[in-house]
Amino acid sequence: MRTQQPTSPPPPSRSAPRRPLLVALALALALLLTGSLGAFLATRGSDDTSARSAPPPTGAPITTAPTTSLDERAEVVARLREILKIRDEAYRTRNPDLLQSIYTSDCPCLKGDRDLIKELLKKELVWTPSETTIQVKSIERANEQLWVITAILIAGPFQVQRESGQTIRAVPQQSDLSRYVLARPASTEPLLLGRVSFIRRVK
């Protein structure tokens, strides 16, 4: 007669990881505007660590990062700041067409931001002016088409209001340390944001 082997206890559950601040703000708006699980799922992919960035060029893998000049690094950082500024403007003006110029076609943030701007218009809500800034910690050039920036993103405070001016929700300033992957689809095109990966919340 076989003796039944004791079963191992299930591993302890892990708390859900914190979401990148770009996505946290979008998620807060999504839950506020729709109050449904569908809105949550619409933005969930934005910080998925398996999300695809723009595909790098084919060929043998690069073992060492190419050397870069200070001018190149400054240009990449300036482009990330410009991307965040355009994203803020897209929300303030509720113009989803602006997003096309800052995201790669497969960046999860593109669909999430479009959906949320659509909800702002549908619910007749506005996002009061706010400024998103970054403090760059490191910048690396992966290859001719990909750059990786690690930076603290500082966003808010801002308010969600009705078109009449009534405040629905006030969102305090928050800061996250995140990693941003910028891709250049072609040598003549500007860098686009392809992926955002959260690292930790900054107090």
Q: Convert the pLDDT of each residue in 59-111 to its tens digit.
A: 444 444 455 678 899 999 999 999 999 999 999 999 999 999 999 999 989 99
Q: For residue 126, is pLDDT > 60? A: yes
Residue 45: per-residue pLDDT: 35
Backbone angles phi, psi at 93, to 5 degrees: -95, -5
Alpha-carbon distance of 92 to 128, in angstroms, equals 6
Q: What does the pLDDT read at residue 9?
A: 47
Any idea where the domains of the chain sit in the sequence? Answer: 21-48+67-202
Let me know: does 42 contact 112? Beta carbons within 8 Å: yes
Asked if 103 contacts 86 with a C-beta cutoff of 8 angstroms, the reply is no
Say what the pTM is.
Answer: 0.69
For residue 34, with 0-12 CB atoms within 10 Å meaning exposed, 13-18 middle and 19 or more buried, which class applies? middle
CATH number given to 21-48+67-202: 3.10.450.50
Per residue in 12-40, pLDDT tens? Answer: 444 444 555 555 555 444 444 433 222 32
pLDDT tens for residues 160-203? 899 999 999 898 889 999 999 999 988 778 999 999 999 999 97
User: Mapping DSSP to helix (H, G, I), strand (E, B) and coil, where does residue 64 land?
Assistant: coil
